[in-house]
Amino acid sequence: MAGERLLLVEDNPQNRRLAQFLLKAHGYLVYEATTGEEALELARAHLPELILMDLQLPGVDGYAVTRWLKEDATTAAIPVVALTAYAMQGDREKALAAGCVGYIAKPIDTKGFPAAVQHYLAPPRAQGEGASS
Ligand code: MN
């Protein structure tokens, strides 16, 4: 169901524009952050339903930003999905260890991206450990 508010953390303007375009077309409201500090600020201010986190950011990387979000009681329950160009299993594990619920591979697959996002917004019923809102 569309209308959910997402926070997109991505420093690359082309990736950001593409993700924003695809998500907006599917009815999502998307806040944009280009740095970790901005991400934290927007997450606290808007409490989005989901955060899409580029792992490679200038300054503080996405792993550290995810850990900040998870350590902050205000934002800890918001699921964070890593956006990663890394194909290595170790990096995916690192993202999960930082607190991400999963990852979406870059380059962004224009057909599959909205469905991948939707998947994390509406996890299967068996996955009941998260917040129910
Ligand atoms: Mn990046």
The model's pLDDT over 28-65, given as tens digits with 9 standing for 90+, comes to 999 999 999 999 999 999 999 999 999 999 999 999 99
The model's pLDDT over 74-103, given as tens digits with 9 standing for 90+, comes to 999 999 999 987 566 778 889 999 999 999
How many Å lie between the centroid of ligand 1 and the Cα of residue 10? 6
Q: How far apart are CA 101 and CA 52, in angstroms?
A: 10
| pLDDT for residue 52 | 98
How many Å lie between the centroid of ligand 1 and the Cα of residue 132? 30
Domains annotated on the chain, with CATH: 5-127 (3.40.50.2300)
Contact 78, 50 (CB under 8 A): yes
pTM of the predicted structure, to 2 decimals: 0.89
How many Å lie between the centroid of ligand 1 and the Cα of residue 128? 31
Q: What average pLDDT score do residues 18-33 get?
A: 96
The one-letter amino acid code at 45 reads: A
Strands 29-33 and 80-84: unpaired
Residue ranges of alpha helices (H) inside 1-133 are 13-25, 36-46, 62-71, 89-98, 113-121
How many Å lie between the centroid of ligand 1 and the Cα of residue 124? 29
How many Å lie between the centroid of ligand 1 and the Cα of residue 25? 23
How many Å lie between the centroid of ligand 1 and the Cα of residue 42? 18
| pLDDT for residue 93 | 87
How many Å lie between the centroid of ligand 1 and the Cα of residue 35? 9
Cis peptide before 123 (omega within 30 of 0): no
How many Å lie between the centroid of ligand 1 and the Cα of residue 34? 9
| pLDDT for residue 92 | 84
Please determine, for residue 127, whether its predicted confidence score (pLDDT) is greater than 50. no
Q: How far apart are CA 68 and CA 62, in angstroms?
A: 10
